[in-house]
Chain A
């Protein structure tokens, strides 16, 4: 249960803001193109949550 909570926390929007700050700092120092990476991960996570929401809604009908 605790692991589930932690995983849920780590994929939340608030956590994403924190990753964004860390990655922006790291990327500005080492120039590793991490910013594009986090953007693509964000898009994938959005897609996942969108599909999950549709699935939940259709389950309830």
Chain B
């Protein structure tokens, strides 16, 4: 039987981790829910969307290297966020949640958070010609990536109950 959009929305909104950012999610979900509803009828898998997201994110970061393309880059990053909602929801809707999908999602987030400050600093450094911007950017990448590594270590410790 064909599921109606209202029922689908209710089912998706009950998912785990759905309310981690309730204030922002309210707005992003207004766009992502219809896309997920459409995609669940197709053969497109959540992992395919996550892989597409990784390429989209890398391309968006590449645009930040030139200060004139920052609007387009930021627009693509917002599409990236919407797709980030779509892939998880699609996995829940199709009931195909997997460790591989979770890992891919984590990879895309780490890659984005590491690449973005670097690309931004290169773009600003090229524009202002001040080397301190580049140094801050490199330190920023180091901080973001180390923070992510610590976060994963913490998650693994919690799973294994090693403290």
Q: Mark A residues whose CB is within 8 Å of B.
A: 5-6, 8-10, 12-15, 17-18, 20-21, 24-25, 27-28, 35-36, 39-40, 42-43, 46-47, 49-50, 53-54, 56-57, 60-61
Q: Which residues of A contact B112 (CB under 8 A)?
A: 13
Q: Which residues of B contact A39 (CB under 8 A)?
A: 117, 120-121, 124, 133, 136-137
Residue of A nearest to B150 (CB): A53
Known: A17-B81, A46-B147. Contact between A24 and B117, CB under 8 A?
no
Closest Cβ–Cβ distance, residue B56 to chain A (whole Å)? 12
Complex contact B154–A56 (CB within 8 A): yes
Residue of B21, B77, B154 near A21 (CB, 8 A) is B77
Q: Mark B residues whose CB is within 8 Å of A.
A: 21-24, 28, 67, 70-71, 73-75, 77-78, 80-81, 109, 112-113, 117, 120-121, 124, 128, 133, 136-137, 139-140, 143-144, 146-147, 150-151, 153-154, 157, 163
Closest Cβ–Cβ distance, residue A33 to chain B (whole Å)? 9
Residue of A nearest to B82 (CB): A14
Complex contact B75–A9 (CB within 8 A): no
Complex contact B143–A50 (CB within 8 A): yes
Residue of A nearest to B163 (CB): A60
Complex contact A21–B75 (CB within 8 A): yes
Cα A39 to Cα B151 with chains together (Å)? 23
A-B contact pairs, 7 of them (CB 8 A): A6-B23, A17-B77, A18-B24, A21-B78, A39-B137, A42-B140, A50-B146
Complex contact B163–A20 (CB within 8 A): no
Cα A5 to Cα B155 with chains together (Å)? 22
Residue of A nearest to B75 (CB): A21
Residue of A nearest to B22 (CB): A5
Complex contact A35–B22 (CB within 8 A): no
